[in-house]
Structure 1
Amino acid sequence: MIKLIIADDFTGSNDAGVQLVNKGFIVDVVFDWRSKQPLKTHLNDKKITVVNTESRAIEYHEAQDRIKQVISNNPHLRPIYKKIDSTLRGNIGGEIETLLATTQVKFALVIPAFPNMNRITKNGKCYVNGIELIDTEFATDPKTPICSSHIKTIIKQQTDYPCEEINLNEVRTHQVTKRIENFVTQGTKIIVIDAETNHDLETIIEEIQGLLDNILLVGSAGLVDFLSPSITEKIPKIERLSIKPMLVIAGSMSEITQLQINYTIQNDNKWNIVDLKISDLLPELSATTLVRYKNKIQEILNDNQHCIVRTSTNKQEREKIDLYCQQYQLSRTELGEKICSGLGLLVKNLKFSNLFLTGGDVAISVAKSLGAIGFIIEGQVCEGVPYGRLLSHENLDYRVFTKAGGFGTKDIFLKSLRFI
């Protein structure tokens, strides 16, 4: 059974961890990859640690350094699961190479499919909702755009380690173990495996069961569910649900998030939208602008109404990113950090009972602005929406929901509201 999950963003950490919470494990998400001490929430056989390296959008070598630090600080937490984005964004090749070199594990199996979120792989390529990855919005991601649908191509951008593929037909004819043995004999270090359904994932795990303690398993949150049986005696969940208003911080520019917001306001008149202009966050969020937005949002919450704060209303906003970068002499990463910092400062000045954060960069920035050092996952509303409590030296007595920008059905916010 895995003991350590290394993820490259906050929402991804939660998406992976909640699969194990649902099976009865205790899962803590650690924000500081430099930390040498585990969070002092639980220490027993049922605990699994997730470390968020926050390395998806940073420079390649810095991502490798963070991985090395995590391995050095957690020498007894083995086996390791490397959680990656199901749309292959980030420093995937470099992080895999570093993990293999640092842990002395001979090879890695890369299985990024997440069928429950309509992210599948076949013929070595990634598809989202039936569309080849390169033809989706992830090709124009504001911070980490992908350049290919081909998983091997993306991995090989950052490593010279030999990489091969096992296709869907070989999975379904139970040739996975045989193919792995052949590749490893030839010196292959990274093996990408196709999967189109949950049954494919289950088949792969069953075939490689005897290898799990001696390989590096790399995948999205979709694969984690098949790594361990449920614990008979599940850990009781803390149920302190509140019917008070929900504050949603929708910093993601994902088209999916925008569709979800539009569906919400069309179907429930208790939701209010506050459109926060990106230009108001650049180069910094001024004190005057902060007070203006704060008063507007707080008035909505005090009136027992739900509030969605969004930074993007349409696809065209994504296309302005390069213009903003030129105007303020910032890289895409620096621009993203400015926006997230401004949103974090805004939330820090608000009073709320339920907080919904969408978009990994936004979620971690807001969480840290609130003084959080980690996150205890308690459960999930539905697939793609984990919830829990922020860990802090202060008492943060509210529930936090997280969602990756590109995840979820159109009624995801309404489902969350019904849940509380």
Structure 2
Amino acid sequence: MILVIADDLTGAAEIAGIGLRYGLKVRVCTEIIQEVTEDLLVISADTRSLTENQAVAKVEYLIKSSQQYKPSLIYKKIDSVLRGHVLAEIKAIQQVFSKKNCLIIPTNPSMGRKIQDGKYYVGDKLAHETAFAHDPEFPIQDSEVINMLRAKPTDQVRVLAQPILPLQGIIIAEVAQKEDLTKWASQWAKIDLLVGGAEFFASILSNLGYNLVEKIFSPQQTALDCLYVSGTTFSDSVEKIQNHARHKGGVCYLPHELVRQPIDSEEFNQSLNRWESEIIQCFSQHKVVIIAVKKQLDTTQITPAELAKLMAKVVKKVLNQVHLAEILIEGGATSAAILAEIPLQNFLPTEEFAQGVIRMQSLERPSTYLTLKPGSYAWPQAVTYAQL
């Protein structure tokens, strides 16, 4: 069995989709489970929304507890642009297992994310020149990958363009194209700790002898109610939803007063109930209802985690009133907050519509399916509900 610890839920789903792509039986969970019969277990640690100390403690707990599964391979999934407490979590795993060397390949070259000359590029732009510079939790202000990791000289982190044996310390590989990825992945057996993004994991599976299988999509029942939850601040998604609201309706924005009111106060609960009623009423006219955050909303008085919590609270209330066959969620923090609030912890991935866009069946609510994607990814045409 292969074990993957992911730093957020959409990252966990992305890895699960790759497992499906290679014909593996896959389980995704947000907590340690007692019995695993699948080939690939992906655990979402949701550490990106925690403090560094909390993240380290969570990873240590998951790594130690998961040894009951006796995994043949452990992979640490991180954000493709190195957001989060990447280095601290790596050190925690190294300490638990006394792992001496570590290879980090976060890039997804097929999506234009690459490392060249020690710098991170998204397409033809440096990472700090893109929308990632405005990330609410981990804004990228420097595209030197050593600095993106917040590494100190004592951390002994090196950036290498070629595998130089023996591989020692913590290594970040320069990967700009698929051939680079294949070259580095062929060295996987010489590495104590493998850390990276989705495409590095796919390349490792290929090196392990797994073969790609044909994609089969289940037909989506557009006659059934679907809730589309957008917790992302990426401009492309925000603008598409605004345009949809102007021309077709069916969008219920987070009320501005909820941001100012103390959570669980009487005023807050009244505002939340009004928002819930608005969403339920919207389902009488639309099969797909969108809840989102307005671009103009002043979020300076609320943290991203608190904002995700607000979205989660209303989703739970709506789910108790409306049978939702499908829930679409964009944004890792939003996804984790919603599943924790309901709560849902155990999933069987069923389809990979595109890299990072995964449909999963909830084992706690088998009639409800969730399709997750990172906020910075686009919805593919196969997800008919999300075409705005």
TM-score for the superposition, normalised by structure 1: 0.81
Over the matched positions of the two proteins, sequence identity in percent amounts to 20
Aligned residue for 2:92, secondary structure, equals helix
Provide, for residues 190-212 of structure 1, a one-character-per-residue CA deviation record: whole Å limited to 9, x for no partner. 10111112232122213x1442x
Read off the aligned partner of 1:72 and give its amino acid letter.
K
Distance 1:216 1:209 in 2: 9
Aligned residue for 2:183, secondary structure, equals helix
The question of 1:307 aligning with 2:277 is answered no
The question of 1:335 aligning with 2:306 is answered yes
Read off the aligned partner of 1:280 and give its amino acid letter.
L
Aligned residue for 2:205, secondary structure, equals coil
Distance 1:31 1:235 in 2: 28
Change in CA separation of 1:48 and 1:372 when aligned onto 2, cut-off 3 Å: same
Aligned residue for 1:200, secondary structure, equals helix
- 1:121 maps to what in 2? 115
Distance 1:232 1:291 in 2: 50
Provide, for residues 355-388 of structure 1, a one-character-per-residue CA deviation record: whole Å limited to 9, x for no partner. 1011111111212223311222112222331111
RMSD: 2.9
Among 276, 280, 302, the alignment partner of 1:294 is: 276
- 2:34 maps to what in 1? 37
Distance 2:52 2:153 in 1: 11
Distance 2:146 2:232 in 1: 27
The question of 1:284 aligning with 2:260 is answered no
Tell me if the contact between 1:117 and 1:407 (Cα under 8 Å) persists in the aligned partners.
no
When the two structures are aligned, how many residues end up with a matched partner? 377
- 2:358 maps to what in 1? 386
Q: CA deviation at 1:49?
A: 0.8
Change in CA separation of 1:383 and 1:236 when aligned onto 2, cut-off 3 Å: closer
Tell me if the contact between 1:126 and 1:133 (Cα under 8 Å) persists in the aligned partners.
yes
- 1:416 maps to what in 2? 383
Among 359, 366, 390, the alignment partner of 2:338 is: 366
- 1:24 maps to what in 2? 23
Q: CA deviation at 1:215?
A: 2.1
- 1:221 maps to what in 2? 198
Distance 1:245 1:260 in 2: 21
Distance 1:202 1:347 in 2: 46
Distance 1:52 1:416 in 2: 23
Distance 1:36 1:274 in 2: 36
Tell me if the contact between 2:217 and 2:351 (Cα under 8 Å) persists in the aligned partners.
no
Distance 1:72 1:97 in 2: 14
Aligned residue for 1:21, secondary structure, equals helix
Q: CA deviation at 1:302?
A: 3.3
Tell me if the contact between 1:85 and 1:220 (Cα under 8 Å) persists in the aligned partners.
yes
Aligned residue for 1:288, secondary structure, equals helix
Structure 1 residue ranges without an equivalent (≥5): 171-175, 326-331
Distance 1:9 1:79 in 2: 20
Aligned residue for 2:194, secondary structure, equals strand
Distance 2:101 2:256 in 1: 43
Change in CA separation of 1:337 and 1:263 when aligned onto 2, cut-off 3 Å: closer
Map 1:19-418 → 2, pairs under 5 A? 19-32=18-31, 35=32, 37-38=34-35, 43-44=37-38, 47-75=39-67, 76-157=70-151, 160-167=154-161, 170=162, 176=163, 179-181=164-166, 184=168, 189-206=169-186, 208-211=187-190, 214-229=191-206, 231=210, 239=218, 241-243=220-222, 244-262=224-242, 269=248, 272-281=250-259, 282-284=261-263, 286-312=268-294, 314=295, 317=297, 320-322=298-300, 324-325=301-302, 332=303, 335-336=306-307, 338-351=309-322, 352-392=324-364, 395-408=365-378, 412=379, 415-417=382-384
Tell me if the contact between 1:57 and 1:144 (Cα under 8 Å) persists in the aligned partners.
no
Tell me if the contact between 1:142 and 1:321 (Cα under 8 Å) persists in the aligned partners.
no
Change in CA separation of 1:123 and 1:205 when aligned onto 2, cut-off 3 Å: same
Change in CA separation of 1:261 and 1:383 when aligned onto 2, cut-off 3 Å: farther
Q: CA deviation at 1:279?
A: 3.6
Q: CA deviation at 1:291?
A: 2.8
Q: CA deviation at 1:333?
A: 5.6
Distance 2:313 2:256 in 1: 9
Aligned residue for 1:380, secondary structure, equals strand
Aligned residue for 2:103, secondary structure, equals strand
TM-score for the superposition, normalised by structure 2: 0.87
Read off the aligned partner of 2:234 and give its amino acid letter.
S
Change in CA separation of 1:123 and 1:273 when aligned onto 2, cut-off 3 Å: same
Provide, for residues 214-273 of structure 1, a one-character-per-residue CA deviation record: whole Å limited to 9, x for no partner. 42111111222212137569699794742224210101122232144356568x84x621
Distance 2:287 2:368 in 1: 17
Change in CA separation of 1:140 and 1:289 when aligned onto 2, cut-off 3 Å: same
Aligned residue for 1:20, secondary structure, equals helix
Read off the aligned partner of 1:6 and give its amino acid letter.
I
Change in CA separation of 1:215 and 1:64 when aligned onto 2, cut-off 3 Å: same
Provide, for residues 373-417 of structure 1, a one-character-per-residue CA deviation record: whole Å limited to 9, x for no partner. 12221122223311111232xx34122110111111xxx275411
Distance 1:82 1:196 in 2: 21
Read off the aligned partner of 1:19 and give its amino acid letter.
I
- 1:173 maps to what in 2? none
Read off the aligned partner of 2:59 and give its amino acid letter.
I
Identify the range of structure 1 (349-358 vs 285-294) with the bigger mean alpha-carbon deviation: 285-294
Read off the aligned partner of 1:64 and give its amino acid letter.
V
Q: CA deviation at 1:159?
A: 8.6
